[in-house]
């Protein structure tokens, strides 16, 4: 069995030899940036809100429409991390662009850190906290404008909502097709910080047709058996070493 250095060196060669790369990311990639994941023992879903409601219930469309005050209290306190900065894992996939790589990022995250790191092609399956709109007229609002209003943000009397996919809502078809195209056309698929248990997003990796799959996730995933490289550790460790080998730092 290859040790870490041997395995990471082989992955670096695959990156060197292939131009079209798709990165599929989940909450785990942002944990080193200070954003908690959802389903671990210390994750967001392990604690109930002070109101007593479960986080999964609060983050549903029905709850948002019926109890916007409780929704926004939870959303602003637990979901938004405006001071979080990209870590080495986010930066590494952006830096690959400087090597002339065609890198697409398909992310389940709504934190905007891939874009902040400099990635040019970011497909946000579940939306972004940085986009918000009026539920009546559709006027767009920035995150700063949302946070500037105490409690529920309003637009001429109508509630403003974040442009994120809530429970009970479907993913946008156009976003789905764009993500599937990116995955299907890639030569290398890198899965980072996701357990691949949240569907339909997780099933998208089955559309990959290339030869090389690398997985960087602390827990096992259903795709491990098909992967060429599996690193059961934080992505920051792997990407730091890859960046050194590829002379990106």
Give the tens place of pLDDT for each residue, 42-98. 566 666 667 788 889 999 999 999 999 999 999 999 999 989 999 999 999 999 999
Assess whether 114 carries a catalytic annotation.
no
Positions of E strands within 90-245: 102-107, 121-124, 127-134, 140-141, 154-155, 158-164, 188-192, 212-216, 229-231
Q: Which two tokens stand for residue 213?
A: 């799959």
User: May I ask the CATH class of domain 4-35+86-126+170-245?
Assistant: alpha beta
Q: Is this model's pTM higher than 0.85 or not? A: yes
CATH level 2 (architecture), domain 44-81+132-164: 2-Layer Sandwich (3.30)
Residue-range domain boundaries for the chain:
4-35+86-126+170-245, 44-81+132-164
Give the tens place of pLDDT for each residue, 198-212. 888 889 999 999 999
Among residues 90, 126, 177, 247, which one is catalytic? 126
CA distance 67 to 175: 28
R_g (Cα) of the chain, nearest Å: 19
């Amino acid at each position: 069995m290859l040790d870490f250095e041997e395995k990471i060196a082989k992955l670096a060669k695959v990156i060197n030899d292939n131009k079209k790369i798709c990165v599929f990311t989940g909450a785990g990639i942002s944990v080193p940036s200070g954003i908690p994941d959802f389903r671990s023992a210390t994750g967001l879903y392990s604690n109930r809100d002070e109101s007593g409601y479960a986080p999964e219930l609060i983050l549903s469309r029905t709850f948002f429409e019926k109890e916007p005050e409780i929704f926004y209290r939870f959303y602003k306190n637990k979901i938004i991390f405006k001071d979080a900065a990209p870590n080495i894992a986010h930066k590494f996939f952006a830096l690959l662009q400087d090597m002339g790589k065609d890198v697409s990022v398909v992310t389940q995250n709504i934190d905007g850190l891939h874009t902040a790191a400099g990635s040019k092609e970011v497909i946000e399956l579940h939306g972004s906290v940085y986009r918000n709109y009026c539920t009546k007229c559709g006027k767009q609002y920035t995150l700063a404008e949302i946070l500037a209003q105490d409690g529920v943000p309003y637009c001429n009397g109508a509630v403003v909502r974040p442009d994120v996919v809530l429970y009970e809502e479907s993913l946008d078809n156009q976003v789905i097709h764009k993500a599937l195209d990116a995955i299907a056309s890639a030569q290398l698929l890198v899965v980072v910080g996701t357990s691949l248990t949240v569907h339909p997003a997780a099933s998208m990796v089955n559309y990959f047709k290339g030869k090389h799959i690398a997985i960087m996730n602390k827990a096992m995933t259903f795709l491990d058996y098909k992967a060429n490289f599996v690193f059961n550790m934080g992505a920051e460790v792997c990407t730091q070493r890859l960046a050194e080998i590829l002379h990106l730092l």
